[in-house]
Amino acid sequence: MPRGAIVTIYKPLGLTPLAALDLWRARHPEWPGVSMTYTGRLDPMAEGVVVVLIGEALKQQAQFQKQDKVYQATVLFGAETDTYDVLGIPSRLVDTKSLDLAKIKSELFKLEHGFKFKLPPYSSYKVRGKPLFWWALMNRLSEVEIPERTVKIYKVEYLNHNCLTNDEFRRKLAEKLDLVRGNFRQRQIKGEWQKLTASRPRFKYQTVTFRLHCQGGTYIRAVAKHLGDKFGCGAILWNLTRERVGDYNISQAEKVA
């Protein structure tokens, strides 16, 4: 048996990277008792490439954290949540059917000049020994300073635009939340979304899909929030697929579910 290996798996929507790794390990008994880990967090509401380091390859973990990444992302305009994606408590809904697509594109391409952002409060980055999401869940974010980060966005490619009715939004949102496994407040979140959307039956929400080649450490949820703030209507990350990590791309990834 080799002393180590690097493999690429496809994390499905709704699972954590650790849950996806456990599924992969169960399919590969040829690595009994061998230590392994994944590189690079991928949120439950995202899917795509996760690089797994096995055995001796664990020594390369720091190197993989720094590698550039490629994502295909869809941002939905007109909503705000505490996580900056659909798996969060919603606080606001705005009808965005009249939002100017040309202006959205312009803001997207400005990202190539560099992107400075505050880390999302629901993230695993540690402050004073605890992950930011702990401070958020304990309602103690006011006690810590949320770090800022500046990253390079190498290329933005606009892909398409869509507009969802309120009924389409509610149906697709429920489908997404039903896929989530683990304890992520999803029962409470689903109830809050249902209450908020029920009172806005005629609202429409614009979505924009784009491909982003970026430096490691870029939070695409923060990109969504940035765009929503620019237009004053709020925005959340609606879909996210990680297509590449360094030289490891989606065509090489083994499906685990």
DSSP states along 167-198: HHHHHHHHHHHHT--S-SSHHHHHHHHHHHHH
Sequence-separated (6 or more) residues with CB below 8 Å from residue 230:
107
**Annotation: CATH topology of 4-66+247-255:** Alpha-Beta Plaits (3.30.70)
pLDDT number for residue 2: 73
- Closest CA relative to residue 172, chosen from 185, 163, 161, 181: 163
Task: Tell me: pLDDT of 1 over 70.
Answer: no
Q: How far is residue 177's CA from residue 180's CA, in Å, rounded to a whole number?
A: 6
Considering the domain 69-245, what is its CATH architecture?
2-Layer Sandwich (3.30)
- 35-51: average pLDDT: 95
**For the chain, what percent of residues have pLDDT higher than 70?**
100
The per-residue b/e assignment along 6-35, b for 16 or more CB within 10 angstroms, e otherwise, is: ebbbbbbbbbbbebbbebbbeeeeebeebe
- 50-63: average pLDDT: 93
pLDDT digits (tens, 9 = 90+) for 64-93: 888 999 999 999 999 999 999 999 999 999
Tell me the average pLDDT of the chain.
96
0.75 cut: is pTM over it?
yes
Same fold, 4-66+247-255 and 69-245: no
Rounded to a whole number of angstroms, the CA Rg of the chain reads: 19
Domain ranges of the chain: 4-66+247-255, 69-245
pLDDT digits (tens, 9 = 90+) for 95-116: 999 999 999 999 999 999 999 9
- The residue to which tokens 């803001």 are assigned: 107
Q: How far is residue 22's CA from residue 56's CA, in Å, rounded to a whole number?
A: 19
Band the pLDDT of 62: cuts 50, 70, 90. confident
pLDDT digits (tens, 9 = 90+) for 199-241: 999 999 999 999 999 999 999 999 999 999 999 999 999 999 9
Q: How far is residue 33's CA from residue 25's CA, in Å, rounded to a whole number?
A: 10
Helix axes 101-110, 220-231, angle to 10 degrees: 130
pLDDT digits (tens, 9 = 90+) for 173-197: 999 999 999 999 999 999 999 999 9
